[in-house]
């Protein structure tokens, strides 16, 4: 695929600094690129790579000045989002959508599989499953009884979907994800053993939900575990039973949400965050990586850090003092000696 800077600038409502007839034929990072490559600068950490890049053209915002007069720039409002648009062009030019049904599939009776869909080899489609038009089921996927999957979803190889799960439209589920496994519900008995609590509910995903590789989502006990539209879950995330995650929230890798917790809309959680069970987290809450939440977050829009979490800036200050704890301890002892004659 070849694109002139003129074409790219038109597409992005950008302003060219340099040669508008210059042609790029691939995309790259600033560091690895060559003269035919387009790249972008969106994070000041990469300024040094920008100054030494061999890329032919770079998307930048209007705060960036270049010393390199040979480098072609396209000035846009949001270089990251603009680069994503160009990535999509290249993605579409490369990808041929899969269609049809391969050999070695197991499709039970009474299923409803939409047009223009794809079912890969060694996939298993149980009774009463509904699959929407244009949805791609890659090889080695398991779809339990009575599952509904909307249109234009992509279910990558090896995903396992338990019975009664409902999945909206335009969802992406990565390899190894498990949707609808049994919640961790055991009632402790007097003799010290555990009695299993049957889990009869299901999992419901909205539209445009993305589920990362090897992520697990447990089904509800009697109602649904709900992942609302636009939610993005990274890899190896755990979502407990009866949890609800509000729309357009994003949760990074290896974070876990314990059972029956309710997460608001537009929340963003970093990697390895843990949220206790049976709490509520307000809309627009941001939690830095490794944060631990033990009780409900009631006020919207807080930025939190630490385990247990506190306001981001407060935890930062605590950490500064924390590094000096041994010194503080000695000072206290000295003060005691001087003032109280201890020791």
Does position 112 bind a copy of itself by CB under 8 A? Answer: no
# residues near a copy of itself by CB under 8 A: 116
Minimum Å distance from CB 69 to a copy of itself? Answer: 25
Among 2, 13, 21, 43, binds a copy of itself (CB under 8 A): 43
A 10 A CB-CB count for 249 gives: 23
Does position 53 bind a copy of itself by CB under 8 A? Answer: no
A 10 A CB-CB count for 337 gives: 11
Q: 254 with 271: CB under 8 angstroms?
A: yes
Of the candidates 241, 278, 284, 314, the residue annotated as catalytic is 241
Provide the mask over 212-241, with x wherever binding to a copy of itself is found by CB under 8 A and - wherever it is not. Answer: xxx-x-x--xxx------x-x-xxx-x-x-
Q: 68 with 50: CB under 8 angstroms?
A: no
Among 23, 184, 302, 303, binds a copy of itself (CB under 8 A): 184
Q: Which pair of structure tokens corresponds to residue 101?
A: 């049904």
Question: Based on CB atoms, which residue is closest to a copy of itself, 117 or 242?
Answer: 242
208: annotated active-site residue: no
Does position 160 bind a copy of itself by CB under 8 A? Answer: yes
Span near a copy of itself by CB under 8 A; candidates 7-15, 60-68, 111-119, 333-341:
333-341
Does position 146 bind a copy of itself by CB under 8 A? Answer: no
Site for a copy of itself in 120-139 (CB under 8 A): 120-122, 124, 138-139
Question: Based on CB atoms, which residue is closest to a copy of itself, 14 or 120?
Answer: 120
Question: Based on CB atoms, which residue is closest to a copy of itself, 114 or 292?
Answer: 292
Does position 172 bind a copy of itself by CB under 8 A? Answer: yes
Does position 25 bind a copy of itself by CB under 8 A? Answer: no
Does position 189 bind a copy of itself by CB under 8 A? Answer: yes
Does position 115 bind a copy of itself by CB under 8 A? Answer: no
Q: Which pair of structure tokens corresponds to residue 277?
A: 């069970």
Site for a copy of itself in 81-110 (CB under 8 A): 81, 83-84, 87-88, 90-91, 94, 102-104, 106
Does position 328 bind a copy of itself by CB under 8 A? Answer: yes
Site for a copy of itself in 240-279 (CB under 8 A): 240, 242, 248, 250, 252-254, 256, 258, 265-266, 271-272, 274, 276, 278
Catalytic residues: 241
């Amino acid at each position: 695929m070849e694109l002139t800077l003129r074409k790219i600038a038109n597409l992005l409502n950008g302003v060219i600094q340099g040669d508008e007839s210059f042609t790029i034929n691939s995309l790259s990072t600033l560091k690895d690129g060559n003269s035919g490559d387009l790249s972008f600068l969106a994070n000041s950490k990469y300024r040094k790579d920008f100054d030494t890049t061999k890329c032919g053209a770079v998307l930048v915002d209007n705060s960036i000045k270049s010393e390199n007069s040979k480098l072609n720039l396209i000035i846009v409002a949001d270089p990251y989002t603009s680069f994503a648009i160009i990535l999509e062009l290249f993605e579409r030019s490369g990808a041929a959508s899969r269609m049809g049904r391969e050999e070695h599939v197991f499709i039970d009776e009474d299923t409803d599989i939409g047009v223009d869909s794809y079912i890969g080899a060694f996939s298993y489609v149980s009774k009463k499953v509904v699959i929407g038009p244009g949805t791609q089921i890659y090889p080695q996927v398991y779809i339990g009884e009575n599952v509904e999957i909307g249109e234009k979803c992509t279910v990558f190889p090896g995903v396992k979907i338990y019975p009664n799960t409902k999945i909206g439209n335009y969802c992406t589920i990565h390899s190894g994800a498990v949707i609808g496994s049994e919640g961790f519900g055991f009632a402790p008995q007097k003799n010290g053993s555990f009695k299993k609590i049957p889990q009869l509910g299901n999992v419901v995903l909205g539209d445009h939900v993305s589920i990362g590789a090897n992520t697990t989502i447990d089904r509800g006990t009697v109602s649904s575990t709900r992942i609302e539209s636009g939610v993005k879950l990274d890899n190896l995330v755990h979502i407990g039973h009866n949890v609800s995650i509000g729309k357009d929230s994003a949760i990074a890798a290896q974070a876990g949400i314990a059972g029956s917790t309710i997460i608001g809309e537009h929340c963003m959680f970093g990697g390895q965050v843990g949220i206790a069970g049976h709490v509520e987290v307000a809309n627009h809450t941001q939690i830095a990586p490794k944060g631990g939440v033990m009780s409900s977050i009631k006020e919207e829009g807080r930025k939190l850090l630490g385990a247990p979490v506190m306001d981001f800036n407060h935890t930062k200050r605590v950490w500064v003092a924390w590094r000096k704890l041994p010194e503080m301890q000695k000072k206290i002892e000295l003060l005691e000696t001087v003032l109280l004659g201890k020791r």
